[in-house]
Amino acid sequence: MSHGFTYSTLTTAIQNYTEVGTSVLSSTITDQFIDNAETQIFRDIPIDANRKEMIGNLTASTDNVYTPAGTLYVRGVQVYTSTSAATGTNSWLIKKDISYLREYDAAETTTGTPKYYAMSGGATGKGATTSGKITVVPTPDSAYTYKIHYSAKPEGLSSANTTTYLSINFGNGLLYACLVEAYGYLKGPQDMLQLYEQKYQTEIQKFGAEQLGRRRRDDYTDGEPRIPVPVQTP
Residue 116 pairs with which residues in a beta bridge?
A: 94, 137
Q: Are 114 and 58 in contact (CB under 8 A)?
A: yes
**Peptide bond between residue 140 and the one before it cis (omega within 30 degrees of 0):** no
Cβ proximity of 124 and 130 under 8 Å:
yes
β-sheet with 130-137: strand ranges across: 64-68, 130-137, 116-119, 94-95
Contact 121/132 with Cβ under 8 angstroms?
yes
Reference 58, options 117, 128, 123; nearest CA is 117
Half-sphere exposure of 210 (CA within 13 A, CB side): 11
Domain spans of the chain, in order of start: 7-47+155-216, 50-152
Contacts of residue 185, Cβ cutoff 8 Å, sequence gap at least 6: 29, 33
Indicate the pTM of the whole model: 0.80
Q: What is the mean pLDDT of each run of 10 residues along the chain (234 residues)?
A: 82 95 94 96 91 93 91 92 72 95 92 94 57 92 93 93 96 96 93 95 91 70 62 61
Would strands 94-95 and 90-92 be described as parallel, antiparallel, or unpaired?
unpaired
Q: What is the pLDDT of residue 88?
A: 76
Which of 44, 47, 46 has the alpha carbon at shortest distance from 177?
44
Q: Which of 199, 188, 63, 85 is nearest to 146 (CA)?
A: 85
Going from the C-alpha of 49 to that of each of 60, 129, 150, 153, 154, the distances in angstroms are 34, 21, 11, 10, 9
The pLDDT value recorded for residue 82 is 63
Check residue 126 and give its pLDDT.
46
Q: Radius of gyration over alpha carbons of the chain, in Å?
A: 23
